[in-house]
Amino acid sequence: MIEFTFWDILRNLLFATRWTLLLSMVAFAGGAAVGLLILFARIAKRPWLRRFGAGYIALFQGTPLLMQLFLMFFGLPMLGFRIEPWTAAALGLTFYASAYLAEIWRGGVEALPRGQWDAGASLGLHYLQELRLVILPQAFAITRPPVVGFLVQLIKSTALTSIIGFEELLRTANAINNATFEPFTVYGLVAAIFFVLCYPLTQYARLLERRAPAH
Give least dist CB 96 to another protein, A: 11
CB-CB neighbours of 1 under 10 Å: 6
Residue 98 or residue 135: which is nearer to another protein going by CB? 98
Q: Measure CA of the first residue to CA of the last residue in the chain; give whole Å.
A: 61
Residue 7 within binding range of another protein, rule CB under 8 A: no
Binding range to another protein, per CB under 8 A, among 118-126, 132-140, 160-168, 207-215:
160-168
Residue 30 within binding range of another protein, rule CB under 8 A: no
Q: Are 65 and 133 in contact, with CB atoms under 8 Å apart?
A: no
Return the H-helix or E-strand segment holding 148: helix 144-157
Give the contacts of 49 (CB within 8 A, at least 6 positions apart): 41
Residue 215 within binding range of another protein, rule CB under 8 A: no
Give the contacts of 23 (CB within 8 A, at least 6 positions apart): 86, 89, 90, 93, 158, 161, 166, 168
Give least dist CB 28 to another protein, A: 16
Per-residue binding letters, 189-208, with another protein (x by CB under 8 A):
-xx--xx--xx--x------
Give least dist CB 139 to another protein, A: 22
Q: What residue spans of 114-143 are helical by DSSP H?
A: 114-122, 127-129, 136-142
Integer angstrom CA distances of residue 71 from 67, 90, 162, 172: 6, 13, 15, 23
Question: Judging by beta carbons within 10 Å of its beta carbon (0-12, 13-18, 19+), is residue 4 exposed, middle or buried?
Answer: middle
Would you give the DSSP letter of residue 212?
S
Binding test (CB under 8 A) with another protein, winner from 66, 121, 125, 142: 66
Residue 163 within binding range of another protein, rule CB under 8 A: yes
Report how many residues bind another protein under the rule CB under 8 A.
41
Residue 130 or residue 180: which is nearer to another protein going by CB? 180
* CA pair distance 107, 117, nearest whole angstrom: 15
Binding test (CB under 8 A) with another protein, winner from 6, 15, 74, 81: 74
Residue 157 within binding range of another protein, rule CB under 8 A: yes
Residue 82 within binding range of another protein, rule CB under 8 A: no
Residue numbers at the binding site for another protein (CB under 8 A): 58-59, 62-68, 70-71, 74-75, 78-80, 152, 156-160, 162-163, 170, 173-174, 177, 181-184, 187-188, 190-191, 194-195, 198-199, 202
